[in-house]
Amino acid sequence: MELIVCVSTAEALKAAVLAGADAVRIGLRDFSTAGLPLEELKKAVTWCRVRGVRISAGMDFPPSGKRFRAAVDAALELARTGVNAICVGDPGLLRALRLLLPDLTLEAAESFQITDAAGVRVLEALGAKRLLLPPQLSSGEMRYLCRRTELETEAVLCGRVCPALGPCRLSAFAGEGSGCGRECREHYVCLGLNAEKRPALKNILLAGQLGELLTMGLSALSIRCEGQRPECAAMTADIFHRAIQEGKAPSQRDIQLLTRSFFSEGVTDALYAGDPAEALLPAQSEWKLPSLAKGAILGSVRAETGGGEFQRVPVHITAELRRGAFSRILAADEEGNSAGATGPIPVNAGGGKRELTEALLRTQLFNTLGTPFLCTAAEALVDPGLHLGSADVGHMRREALNRLAEKRSEPPILRVGELPPLLRPEAVHPQPDLNFSVTKTAQLSEALAALKPKVLYVPLEELLKEPVAVTPFWENGITSVCAVLPERYTAEEASELFTRLKQLRELEVSEVMVNSWNALVPVSMLGFRVRCGLGLQVWNDWSLRVLKELGTASALLSPELTLEEIGAVAKCMDTELYAFGRLPLLTSEALLTAPEARSDTLRDRRGRQFPVLNTLGRSRLYSPDKLFLGEKLKDLEKLGLWCLHLSFTTENPGECVSVAERYLGRGSYQPNFKTKGLYYENETHSGFRFPAKKGASGNAGSVRPDDPARRR
At residue 56, the pLDDT reads 95
3-state class (DSSP) for residue 290: coil
Residue 258 has pLDDT above 60, yes or no: yes
- 425 vs 239, residue with greater confidence: 239
Q: What's the mean pLDDT in 649-669?
A: 93
CATH of the domain at 537: 3.20.20.70
Residue 18 lies in a domain: yes
> What does the pLDDT read at residue 161?
87
Asked, for residue 186, whether it belongs to a domain, the answer is no
Amino acid at 135: P
At residue 682, the pLDDT reads: 53
pLDDT of 382 strictly over 80: yes
Whole-number pLDDT of residue 164: 87
Q: Is pLDDT above 80 for 144?
A: yes
209 has pLDDT over 80? yes
Helix axes 117-126, 91-100, angle to 10 degrees: 40
Please check whether residue 674 lies inside any domain of the structure.
yes
Q: Higher pLDDT residue, 34 or 209?
A: 209
d(CA 38, CA 104): 18
9 and 49 co-located in one domain? yes
DSSP secondary structure string for all residues of 549-600: HTT--EEEBPTTS-HHHHHHS--SSEEEEEEEEEEEEEEESS-SS-TT-SEE
Bigger pLDDT: 271 vs 704: 271
Residues 267 and 386 both lie in one domain:
no
Instruction: Answer yes or no: is 233 within a domain.
Output: yes
- Mean pLDDT, all residues of the chain: 87
- Average pLDDT on 472-501 reads 87
Coil, helix or strand for 186?
coil
- In this prediction, residue 413 carries a pLDDT of 87
pLDDT more than 90, % of the chain = 54
| Per-residue model confidence as pLDDT tens digits over 59-94 | 988 998 779 999 999 999 999 999 999 999 999 999
Can you tell me the mean pLDDT for 249-270?
Answer: 84
Neighbours of 192 (CB within 10 A): 15
- pLDDT confidence of residue 628: 95
- Total domains, the chain: 3
| Residue 471 and residue 511 in one domain | yes
pLDDT tens for 523-580 read 998 899 999 999 999 999 999 999 999 999 999 999 999 999 999 898 899 999 999 9
How sure is the predictor about 306, in pLDDT bands with cuts at 50, 70 and 90?
A: low
Q: Say whether both 139 and 18 belong to one domain.
A: yes
**Across residues 239-264, what is the average pLDDT?**
86
> For position 218, what pLDDT does the model report?
94
Q: How confident is the model at residue 329 (pLDDT cuts 50, 70, 90)?
A: very high
Q: Is the pLDDT of residue 697 over 70?
A: no
Rounded Cα distance between 307 and 302, Å, is: 9
> 88: phi > 0 → left, psi -120 to 50 → alpha, else beta; which?
beta
Q: Which of 248, 277, 302 is the last residue of a domain?
A: 302
Same domain assignment for residues 643 and 548: yes
Question: For residue 599, is it within any domain?
Answer: no
Predicted local confidence at residue 489, as pLDDT? 78
pLDDT(170) > 80: yes
Residue 602's φ and ψ, nearest 5 degrees, are -105, 135
Question: Are residue 7 and residue 48 in the same domain, yes or no?
Answer: yes
Encode pLDDT of 603-624 as tens digits. Answer: 988 889 999 998 888 899 999 9
Residues 311, 373: contact at Cβ < 8 Å? yes
Q: Answer yes or no: are the C-beta atoms of 589 and 634 closer than 8 Å.
A: no
* Long-range contacts of residues 70-74, Cβ cutoff 8 Å, at least 24 apart: 70/30, 71/31, 72/96, 72/97, 72/100, 72/419, 74/28, 74/31, 74/38
For residue 268, the cross-strand partners are: 204
Confidence of residue 297 (pLDDT cuts 50, 70, 90): low
For the purposes of burial, counting CB atoms within 10 Å of the CB of 307, is it exposed (0-12), middle (13-18) or buried (19 or more)? exposed
Burial 162-183 (b: 16+ CB within 10 A, else e): bbbbbbbbbbbbbbbbbbbbeb
Residue 290 pLDDT class (50, 70, 90 cuts): low
Q: Is residue 219 part of a domain?
A: yes
Based on the fold, state whether residues 112 and 140 are members of the same structural domain: yes
220 and 353 housed in the same domain: no
pLDDT value at residue 538 = 93
Structure confidence at residue 380 as a pLDDT band (50, 70, 90)? very high
* Residue range 443-472: mean pLDDT, rounded: 94
405 and 464 co-located in one domain: no
The more confident residue out of 704 and 520 is 520
**Full 3-state SS string of 8-27:** CCHHHHHHHHHCCCCEEEEE
Look at 106 and 284; give whichever has higher pLDDT.
Answer: 106
647 — pLDDT class (breaks 50, 70, 90)? very high
Output the pLDDT for position 338: 94
| Band (696; pLDDT cuts 50, 70, 90) | very low
Residue 386 domain flag: yes
Return the pLDDT at 692: 33
The whole domain housing 291 covers 2-161+202-302
Is residue 133's pLDDT more than 70? yes
Percent of the chain whose predicted confidence (pLDDT) is above 70? 91
Residues 472 and 339 in one domain: no
**Residue 87, amino acid:** C
Alpha carbon of 381 to those of 318, 360, 634: distances in Å?
Answer: 8, 11, 85
Q: Of 58-67, 280-289, 416-425, which gets the smallest average pLDDT?
A: 280-289
Residue 694 pLDDT exceeds 80: no
Neighbours of 151 (CB within 10 A): 20
Query: What letter would DSSP give residue 450?
Result: T
DSSP-assigned beta bridge partners for residue 85: 56, 105
pLDDT class of 288 with cuts at 50, 70, 90: low
Decide which of 281, 302, 323 is a domain's last residue.
Answer: 302
Tell me, yes or no, whether 401 and 516 share the same domain: no
Same domain, 222 and 318: no
Whether the pLDDT of residue 150 is over 80: the answer is yes
Residue 298: which pLDDT band, with cuts at 50, 70 and 90?
Answer: low
**Average of per-residue pLDDT across 274-291:** 71
193 part of a folded domain: no
* pTM, rounded to two decimals: 0.88
